[in-house]
Each structure stands twice: as C-alpha cells, then as structure tokens.
Structure 1
Amino acid sequence: MAIKFVGKPIIKADAETREYYGKAPETRSIPELLDSGVIIIDKPSGPTSHQVSAWVRDMLGIEKAGHSGTLDPNVTGVLPVALGGGTKLVDELHIGSKEYVCVMRLHSEVQESRVREVMKPFVGKVQQMVPVRAAVKRQQRAREIYALEFLEMRGRDVLFRVECEAGTYVRTLCVDIGKRLGCGANMQELRRTRTAIFGESDLVRLQDLKDALFEWQENKNDAPLRKLVIPMERMVEHIPKIVIRDSAVDALCHGANLALPGVVQVDSGLRKGNLAAVFTLKEEIVAIGAALMDAREIVEKVGGFCLDVG
C-alpha cells in the first residue's frame, strides 16, 4: 500500500529506511494483521453493533475488537470493526463523513414534486433534536448535510441518499422532512453505505469471514483472509499525513512531540490545529497528533516542534 495524502506530499528532506526498522503493512503475517487491522462488516438487521463486534472478536480468537459508528439493531450496512491495536484509531473514523440510503414513509399522500422541493433546503447546516431512543442526552445539535439526493418514490415511500456529518440522525431528518411537508414521516429502512473512506465495495459478510478463517486455520491458506482484513493504516486515509525518518520513531512512541528535524514529507493539506497521522518510511502509522504549524511552516522551519501527540 502507498501512503495516501489528503493534498500533495511536500518533501522536506531526503531519507531512506533501514531494512531492520519496522515492517510494511502488506508484509504483516495474519496474526499481526489480526492485531492491527480492520474488517468492514456488512452488518445484518437484528443484532446490535456491540454484538457484531463481539462475534468478530470471538470468531477470530482475539482479545480486543471495537466498532466505529454504532448502528441501531434494524439498520444494516457498513460497520468498521477494528482489531487489536487498530481499536486505537476508531475515533479517527468519526472525523469522516457518513453516507446512507434511506426509505422514508410519508403519513399521507404527497406529490413527488412537492417532496423534491421540500428536501432541497435540508442541505447545509441543520439543527437536530436527538431521538428519544438515542443513548445520549436529548438536546438540539447542529449537524451538516453535505448532499441529499431524491432517488425514487413509490406510493408513500421515498427512497433517498444522504451524505452527512458524523452524528447526524437520519431518523430525525425523516421526521423533520415530514413536518415541513405537513403530513408527517418516519424512517422505514436505513442502510449505511459509507463511513469515511470505507464503502460497500469493502464489505465482508460474517459468513464469508468465518469461511476465510476456516481456510487459514484448516488448510493453511491465508489468501482469502488477507483479502478481508485491511491494515489499520487505511483508517486514517482521510486525515493529513506527516512522514518521518526512522530515527524519529522511538521518541514519538515514548510520548515525545514531533521535532522538525525528524520530518521527511508533509501533506500540503495540513493546517495548524488539524489532526495529522504520522507515518514511517515503510508506511506504518506511528501516532496521531495535533499540528502545531501549517505544512509550509513545517517545510521552511529548521528547529522546534510541529506536532503535539499529547
């Protein structure tokens, strides 16, 4: 795998990596992947997200697994389940946007043209009241709808696609659209089709995971399982990157802030205050931290610290 920059890579210094330092993600063994990977489960309707994570953990025989972005029991689709050390990165997936396909049921007949017209103003910043069923305190929250696409309408059922900020309640969106229409509406079905950079093309059914695990354990064939377990580094593809030299890794791993002499490349999209993911020259993730300066300053300055990992 190659490091994917949000902007363009800016070279600060030339450096090479030593063979005995670290290990490229694609060369990890299966046990290593199961301790530093992520599987994008196609969550079925019925179980909770926590149950699905527990099933994956027990199936793989690992100590720790955790999901990013809880889905209600009746909601299906993209559920990233991080494995082992990969669980440290689940919060970073919340930074990325989410995409859903929803069936909204209107409480009375409405013309399609009217539905299309009413949905348009919901793109942008919206105020949402947390649903009664939610596991958090009920209060108004500001969220952003990036895109809202009407797909089709059959009777009182409206199919639409929504791209939104993490933490947006599609159930509440349906209720609010119904209020604006004057007829009332509720969410009938919901499927998450994308979380950050992970979409439906990455999905793994639980049965397929079980079959791949059997193939590895019983037939010593790890190819099917390798196709399903993604290195944890991909969980931060949507975050600006900093690449460091081998000699800077140890200090960073022991909690030191990143000093400028250790930087080899920086993402042109990095701004002061942004989160940044720090990678080695072998494309391994080392740390996540807050940038103390813009990309251009990192390239031009000689001394000081550019990233706070505290």
Structure 2
Amino acid sequence: MTMDIVKAGASNEEDEQIIKPQASTPALDTSDWPLLLKNYSKLLIRTGHFTPIPHGCAPHKRDLKSYIQSGVINLDKPSNPSSHEVVSWIKRILRCDKTGHSGTLDPKVTGCLIVCVDRATRLVKSQQGAGKEYVCVIRLHDRIPGGQPQLARALETLTGALFQRPPLISAVKRQLRIRTIHNINLIEFDNDRGLGVFSVSCEAGTYIRTLCVHVGLLLGVGAHMQELRRVRSGAMGESKNMVTLHDVLDAQWLYDNTRDESYLRRVIMPLETLLCTYKRLVVKDSAVNAVCYGAKLMLPGLLRYEDGIEHHEEVVLMTTKGEAICLGIAQMSTLEMSTCDHGVVAKVKRNIMERDLYPRRWGLGPTALEKKKLKADGKLDKYGRITENTPAKWKADYKDYSAAPGEAPAATPATPSAAVEATPKAIEATPAAAEEPAADEGDSKKRKKDEETPEERAERKRRKAEKKAAKEAKKASKGKKDDSE
C-alpha cells in the first residue's frame, strides 16, 4: 500500500516537471529593464531563434576598467574655468587616455556638461548636435511701460528660426547663421530692478547672449545677459545623476585607498545612457563582430526592431545583452523589415564597440568556404576575383554583392581569340597605360627645374612670393570687412 502511494507521489512530481503546451506566451514586464533593454518586449520580433555566444556583458556588469573606458559623466560645470580645462582635469583625475565634451560652455556659464571618457568619445559628435536647454537671467537697461506682459510678448516673438551673429567676444568666425528657438518661457520679472528670468529650449549652437541683445532691441531699452545655466544637453538633464568635480575626485580617492568602486560606478554612467532616445535594432550575437569591422547589417542578422523606423533615419544597433554596437543609418523602413526576406537593414555610421569582443562568425557558409578553396588552388586571385583559371560554374553562379550597383564584375577574357582581337584603343585605356603619362609628366617637371639657371630660379621664387603675399593681403582685407559689418 505504501509503495503504491510513493509511486503515485513520484508520478505526480514527474507530471509537474513536464513543460506543457500553452496557448499564449506569458507576459514579461520589461519596463524597468536598464538602458537600451527598456521595454524590450515591445520591440517587433523578426525571429526568436539565435545562438547565444558567451562573450560581452551587460553595460552595468562590465569590469571597472572597461566600465570607465566606456563611460560618460553628467558634470555640473563650475563658473570661471573653461570647458577645456574642466575636461583636462577629469582626464588627470581618472588617469584615462582621452576625454571629450558635448558642447562648449563659456567660462562664466554653469550647468550640464557631458564628459565622455575614452571609448565614449566616439559619441561626442552626435551629442554636440543635440538640442540644449538653458535658464537665463537678463538685465534690461531701463524700465518698460508694459511690464511683464510686454517682455513675454517680445520673447514669444523670438521663437522659430532666427538670424544670429556670434558675439564680439566669441572665439569663432563672426558669420551670420540661422538657429532655431523651439520654446521660451518667462519665469519671473522685476521691472524696478530690470531683471528677468526665462528658460529657453533651442538648437545646438544658439547664442543666448545674442538672443538677450535682440530682446533689448525689440523692447527699445537695450539688454544684456547677466547669468546663464545649462539645464539640459541632449539626453542628459540636471535631474539625471548630475555630479560635481569634487564627486569625481572623491570617488577616485575612495577607490585608490579602499578599493571601493561603488562611488565611481555611481559617478560614471555607461555610454548607452546617451543612446536611449534612438530607435533600436537588436542584432544576433553571430553578426556583432562583422558589424564592428564595418559590414552592413543584413536582414538574416536582425532579431528585433523598433516601430516607426524610416529610410535614412539614425538608429542604434545593440546586442541581446543591451550593449551598443554602433550608430547606423537605416536602409529599410519598419514595414520593409517585416515583409522582406533579404537585403541591407542598416549601414554603419559610427562604430562604438571594440573589434573582436565577440568572435568572428563570417566566412563559414558554403559559398565562402568554396571561395576560400578556389583561392588556395589558384583559381581566384588573392582578392577573390575571377581569373582565366576560374571554373565556368563559379563565373555563372557567383554574385559579388560588395560591388557598386552599376559596376560590372572584374573578369579576364575567357578565350585567347578575344584577347587577340582587342583593339589598340582598349589597350590604351588600361589603368597601367593611363598612369605612364602622369609619371612622365612628373619626371619632365623635375628635369625642367634641374636645368634652370640661377637667374630663372630666382625669378620663379620671386613670382611665387608675390602670389603668396597677394593671397594673404586679400585674406586680411576680407577679415577687416567682416569685422566692420
């Protein structure tokens, strides 16, 4: 009797351990997943089948050296030192190779300065062009009769595309440029003291000092910028883990003396933080290293993709662990990705991940292996191009996808008679023949200089100096004209 009970209990346990078919996939909440993996379950699925490779790791799980090398700091820049000085101090504190920042702040301006460390400096260019947000204190030179409503109307007038010339004290060329002001809000105004506070959201490269002068011209009393603080730069704002220079210094001191890396990990964020606003393409582990070497992402290498991707839109390519591989330009829209079965999904714009972090997985297909064998047998040249020894089947079947759209595949004549019948004009048009006259021309010029008399040489040098002086004078007169404007 007891044996029957034991057997029944064992059979129940076995039944519980069997995975039974279900009508629906259990819901997965990915809203609190970090960085690029946030809302991963909402991405559109192309395929769920891929072979995970035990290389790479999640951004927050990197070892400290790799974490710092691919990190960014949302720094609260102090007043007085220049942006360049601040960035060089951080480089010295962290003892790293490279640092860069996401847009210069004037010495007296405080606020958000994104500092990129080592590998993250590859993202500096993309962050410099991102939108900015400022809070500004403006001083009016006289009372205005309309008070706060009049100032609010003047600020509202200065939204949209504006002509701006850099201020007199700027270090760049004073050239007229167009900048877009997205939004201006008046926060506070004191007419008796002539001081106002407003927030402005604008395009990168906008001069707030020039904007304040324009407000004074509109009001007819004159105005200048009293104080300025940047509250947002691209994806980073004041509320997003902003730290001071003292925090960076203390974090490094704590690690050097106690080997506690928690403070450093709180001060420095992974570079993926800057890419959370981009639309995502999730790449199979086997295709990651090929993309790192500059290959285009083809449709078989795609796992998931975001909704609403358009042609030539800037996207971020990521791994299944949430690491950023590169910034890319989409070659397909979301609709095409869901309906096509082959083609180029995106091409690389700026590589972020280091090469060979993931293993190489290209050149293992049947065509690639056959090509390798033909190269070893001497039936293709060392670049894999067709020669006279190439089998006819390979010539007929092989398609070179790396060739330009209108370019014919390079091939030598199949029969000797075709080579004999080639006209002299065709022979003259070969690259080798085209290079010979250029070489002869260079030799003749050199010979001509060697045969010059001292008087001819002096005359040639005098003419060259006169031409150079005229060029410099023209450049100087142009600079004076720009300053007078």
Q: Is contact 1:131–1:138 with CA below 8 Å preserved after alignment?
A: yes
Of 133-142 and 212-221, more deviation after overlay is shown by 133-142
Letter in 2 for 1:220: R
Q: How does 1:114-193 map to 2 (within 5 A)?
A: 114-154=150-190, 155-193=193-231
Could you give the per-residue CA deviations for residues 49-76 of structure 1, whole angstroms, max 9, x where no partner exists?
0111100010001111111111011100
Does 2:276 match 1:276? no
Shift of 1:287: 0.8
Q: Is contact 2:272–2:324 with CA below 8 Å preserved after alignment?
A: yes
Rounded Cα–Cα distance in structure 2 between residues aligned with 1:168 and 1:269: 30
Q: Is contact 2:283–2:301 with CA below 8 Å preserved after alignment?
A: yes
Correspondent of 2:108 among 65, 69, 74: 74
Match of 2:425 in 1: none
Q: How does 1:15-26 map to 2 (within 5 A)?
A: 15=49, 18=52, 20-26=54-60
Query: Are residues 95 and 239 of structure 1, via their aligned partners in 2, closer, same or farther at CA, if it must alter by over 3 Å?
Result: farther
Match of 1:33 in 2: 67
Shift of 1:5: 7.5
Q: How does 1:1-310 map to 2 (within 5 A)?
A: 1-3=34-36, 4=38, 9-15=43-49, 18=52, 20-110=54-144, 111-154=147-190, 155-201=193-239, 202-309=241-348
Letter in 2 for 1:31: K
Of 230-239 and 261-270, more deviation after overlay is shown by 261-270
Shift of 1:17: 6.2
Could you give the per-residue CA deviations for residues 90-123 of structure 1, whole angstroms, max 9, x where no partner exists?
1221343211100011111122221011111222
Rounded Cα–Cα distance in structure 1 between residues aligned with 2:182 and 2:39: 22
Query: Are residues 302 and 281 of structure 1, via their aligned partners in 2, closer, same or farther at CA, if it must alter by over 3 Å?
Result: same
Query: Are residues 96 and 10 of structure 1, via their aligned partners in 2, closer, same or farther at CA, if it must alter by over 3 Å?
Result: farther
Gaps of 5+ in 2: 1-33, 350-485
Of 145-154 and 9-18, more deviation after overlay is shown by 9-18
Query: What secondary structure sits across from 1:134 in the alignment?
Result: coil
Alpha-carbon RMSD across the aligned residues, in angstroms, is 1.7
Q: Is contact 1:17–1:281 with CA below 8 Å preserved after alignment?
A: no
Shift of 1:142: 1.9
TM-score where L is the length of structure 2: 0.61
Query: Are residues 200 and 215 of structure 1, via their aligned partners in 2, closer, same or farther at CA, if it must alter by over 3 Å?
Result: same
Rounded Cα–Cα distance in structure 2 between residues aligned with 1:177 and 1:135: 23
Query: Are residues 26 and 191 of structure 1, via their aligned partners in 2, closer, same or farther at CA, if it must alter by over 3 Å?
Result: same
Query: What secondary structure sits across from 2:169 in the alignment?
Result: coil
Q: Is contact 2:53–2:286 with CA below 8 Å preserved after alignment?
A: no
Which has more radius of gyration? Answer: 2
Letter in 2 for 1:56: I
Rounded Cα–Cα distance in structure 2 between residues aligned with 1:127 and 1:18: 53
Query: Are residues 241 and 135 of structure 1, via their aligned partners in 2, closer, same or farther at CA, if it must alter by over 3 Å?
Result: farther
Query: Are residues 208 and 286 of structure 1, via their aligned partners in 2, closer, same or farther at CA, if it must alter by over 3 Å?
Result: same
Query: What secondary structure sits across from 2:243 in the alignment?
Result: coil
Rounded Cα–Cα distance in structure 2 between residues aligned with 1:49 and 1:132: 20
Q: Is contact 1:43–1:77 with CA below 8 Å preserved after alignment?
A: yes
Identify, as 1 or 2, the structure richer in strand: 1
Q: Is contact 2:140–2:224 with CA below 8 Å preserved after alignment?
A: yes
Q: Is contact 1:5–1:240 with CA below 8 Å preserved after alignment?
A: no
Rounded Cα–Cα distance in structure 1 between residues aligned with 2:50 and 2:87: 39
Of 186-195 and 289-298, more deviation after overlay is shown by 289-298
Rounded Cα–Cα distance in structure 2 between residues aligned with 1:117 and 1:146: 15
Could you give the per-residue CA deviations for residues 228-258 of structure 1, whole angstroms, max 9, x where no partner exists?
1100011112222211110110110111111
Letter in 2 for 1:238: T
TM-score where L is the length of structure 1: 0.95
Q: Is contact 2:53–2:285 with CA below 8 Å preserved after alignment?
A: no
Query: What secondary structure sits across from 1:212 in the alignment?
Result: helix
Could you give the per-residue CA deviations for residues 202-252 of structure 1, whole angstroms, max 9, x where no partner exists?
211111111111111111111111111100011112222211110110110
Gaps of 5+ in 1: none
Detail structure 1 runs of 4+ shifted over 6 Å in the superposition.
none
Identity of matched residues, %: 39
Rounded Cα–Cα distance in structure 1 between residues aligned with 2:277 and 2:210: 27
Query: What secondary structure sits across from 2:111 in the alignment?
Result: strand
Query: Are residues 15 and 214 of structure 1, via their aligned partners in 2, closer, same or farther at CA, if it must alter by over 3 Å?
Result: farther
Rounded Cα–Cα distance in structure 2 between residues aligned with 1:15 and 1:170: 52
Query: Are residues 85 and 173 of structure 1, via their aligned partners in 2, closer, same or farther at CA, if it must alter by over 3 Å?
Result: same
Rounded Cα–Cα distance in structure 1 between residues aligned with 2:318 and 2:115: 22
Query: Are residues 18 and 222 of structure 1, via their aligned partners in 2, closer, same or farther at CA, if it must alter by over 3 Å?
Result: same
Rounded Cα–Cα distance in structure 2 between residues aligned with 1:98 and 1:299: 35
Shift of 1:264: 1.3
